Amino acid sequence: ENDDPTPDLLELLEELSKTMAYASASTDIHKVRTMSQIIESALKQAIIRRRKTDEISGVSMGFDFLDAVTNGAQPDDFITWSGRPGSAKTHLMLNSFNAAFDQGKNPMFATFEMSPEQLATRLVERRLGISSKSLRFGQFTSFAEKRILNHIEELLIIEQNKYSGFMYNGGMSSNVHNLIAEVKLRKPGALFVDGAYLLQAGKRNKAKWEVVSETATELKQCAMNLHIPVIASYQLNRSGKGKNAGLDTIMYSDAM
């Protein structure tokens, strides 16, 4: 008989980690409210949106036509982008992250497939027009270097006095509860999760589709508990090409 207590201790630690991550996550959504109260709350939000005649009410998606049809990503939204590897999912997510920062939304970008430095070169390209390739190969001018240094100083002033854009480096084995605990600490106005299918749920003996299902549920719960939009990217299966791409070709689509 195996008397090793390690598995039981690991399970207890996992439950403790999850409990601590959500210890202060309870909000008014868990309380019972009357019809008049919830309609009044909805009206107040609608009035705020009506006053913003020249801007979208939610977090910018990074593209004008998407903002026009969605009015931006709204609080409690859980939005997923799906595509084959190399189909510009990260490009799309970074555009949204960059636009959200310019809105002053305190966005957080969680990366699980690329380093923050790799993403930073792409942000420099978007914000200053300096080629990310030139930075990657070290083939940039002293003038470009000066522009980047000046922009860093501008960002520091913004971060000290107004708002920030956060980058979470999760690697390829990050636990979803650790990510959500960091989100609760930083209180971003929007969360972008690039490569969400790589998130772990704790126990290693679960099937991959179970892990994806559980982490997606946790991200949706995070959006609702913290009242922020959560935007995540997932890969398509090999069959998800061209006209064959559809909901059924999203990797682990049953779980999603």
- 135-168 tens-digit pLDDT: 888 888 889 999 999 999 999 999 888 888 999 9
Q: Which residue has the higher pLDDT, 182 or 114?
A: 182
pTM: 0.75
Burial of residue 242, with CB atoms counted within 10 A of its CB: 0-12 exposed, 13-18 middle, 19 or more buried: exposed
Mean pLDDT value across residues 61-84: 87
Residue whose pair of structure tokens reads 């309609």 in the numeric block: 39
Mean pLDDT value across residues 171-189: 87
Contacts of 87 (CB under 8 A, 6+ apart): 236
Mean pLDDT value across residues 202-215: 80
- Whether the per-residue pLDDT at 28 is higher than 50: the answer is no
Mean pLDDT value across residues 178-182: 92
SS3 168: strand
Please name the helix (run of DSSP H) or strand (run of DSSP E) that holds residue 192, with its range, or none: strand 190-194
Spatial contact of 167 and 109, defined as CB atoms under 8 Å apart? yes
The pLDDT confidence band at residue 235, using thresholds 50, 70 and 90, is confident
Q: Which of 171, 255, 250, 174 is nearest to 211 (CA)?
A: 255
Structure confidence by residue, pLDDT tens digits, 86-136? 788 888 999 999 999 999 999 999 998 888 888 888 999 999 999 988 888
Q: Tell me the β-bridge partners of 191.
A: 108, 230
Residue whose pair of structure tokens reads 């994806």 in the numeric block: 212
Q: Which residue has the higher pLDDT, 38 or 227?
A: 227
Q: Tell me the β-bridge partners of 232.
A: 80, 193
DSSP 8-state code for residue 237: P
- Angle, alpha carbons 250-82-223 (nearest 5°): 105
Task: Indicate the residue type of 159.
Answer: E
Instruction: Work out the percent of the chain whose per-residue pLDDT is above 90.
Output: 30
Q: Which residues of 101-114 are buried (b: 16+ CB within 10 A; e: fewer)?
A: bebebbbbbbbbbe
Is the backbone of residue 158 left (phi > 0), alpha (psi -120 to 50) or beta?
Answer: alpha
